[in-house]
Amino acid sequence: MKIMRQQPKKKNYKLYNIIFPIWFLIALPPVWIFTIPANFIIDSIVILLGMKKLKIQEIKKNYKKSIIKVVFLGFLSDILSGIALFAVAMILPGNLQNNLFDGVFYEPTKSIYSFAVVAITILFAAVLIYLFNKKFSFNKTDLTKDEIHKLSLYLSIFTAPYFFMVSLNFIDSIFNIY
């Protein structure tokens, strides 16, 4: 006679809104609808004009092999620098944190300190854009190391997230968001 043991029922745990909150899906699509095409266009202009200035042969072929990586890595650089900006504003002690946080996120030109933090963050993003593009974006192209260096430099200069300097107060005056 065989004794059948009942298997204990597994408990299923679902993490609905902890890691990826539903409001994220609602809030971000309008932003992505505008930023993805805008970044694609700006990155394309910088790459195409840069290749033309450098007198690169087969511009179309090299452009097609690099543009998606350039756009993706540009977004990654912006996100990482945005996280760094938020982290810096959060780790400061007490009153300094409150003053800097308000300045950094609502009015970057409010004080020299908030301006400096945002400017350093933009510089950090530009360095990431340069490094990511130099290492990954053009590796399947026929470009020389010097051409890759120059194109990566153009991208870092012309596509850095200067919008970090735009105050939320200014944006609110246009779009009435809060």
Mean of the pLDDT values across residues 7-12?
Answer: 53
Vertex 130 angle, CA 89 and 55, to 5°: 150
Q: Give tens-digit pLDDT for 27-64.
A: 556 667 778 899 999 999 999 999 999 999 999 999 99
What is the number of alpha carbons within 13 Å of residue 149 lying toward its C-beta? 3
Instruction: Say yes or no to pLDDT of 25 above 70.
Output: no
pTM of the model: 0.80
**What's the chain's length in residues?**
178
For 68-80, b/e burial (b = at least 16 CB within 10 A) is ebbbebbeebbee
Mapping DSSP onto H, E and C, the string for 113-151 reads HHHHHHHHHHHHHHHHHHHHHHHHHCCCCCCCHHHHHHH
